[in-house]
Amino acid sequence: MAAAVECGLTPDEFWNATLRELEILGRARRSREAASYRRAAWTAWHVAALMRVGADFPPLAEFLEPPRPLTAEEQAERARDHAAMIELRRRMKENRDG
């Protein structure tokens, strides 16, 4: 639910959304975060370059590398969270439908 709030959803919107809609929102959020990271890295590199930080300053390409991939443990944690969310949604639907 916290990730849904970070995507800008209200609790009602979250509980009324399909899993496909939540997946699309999650992808869009990750894309925005990656773009934000690249903008920040670009800015930091240029500020430092303009300050003439020295000959050993790394090339811009190193700064623009995307964040590291998730570890197996992090992926497993996300899978557990996803399974818990699906189960919670199923139970809420059962309670709502009678």
Buried b vs exposed e over 69-93: b needs ≥16 C-beta within 10 Å? eeeeeeeeeeeeeeeebeeebeeee
Q: What is the mean pLDDT of residues 61-87?
A: 86
Which range has highest mean pLDDT (4-8, 23-27, 63-67)? 23-27
Instruction: At 92, give phi and psi (nearest 5°).
Output: -65, -40
Cα(75)–Cα(30) distance, integer angstroms: 15
Confidence of residue 40 (pLDDT cuts 50, 70, 90): very high
Structure tokens at 70: 């998730």
3-state SS assignment for residue 94 = helix
Q: What percent of the chain stands above pLDDT 70?
A: 95
Cα(91)–Cα(33) distance, integer angstroms: 32
- Apex 69 CA angle, 66 and 71, nearest 5: 155
Cα(47)–Cα(43) distance, integer angstroms: 6
Q: What is the mean pLDDT of residues 70-97?
A: 89
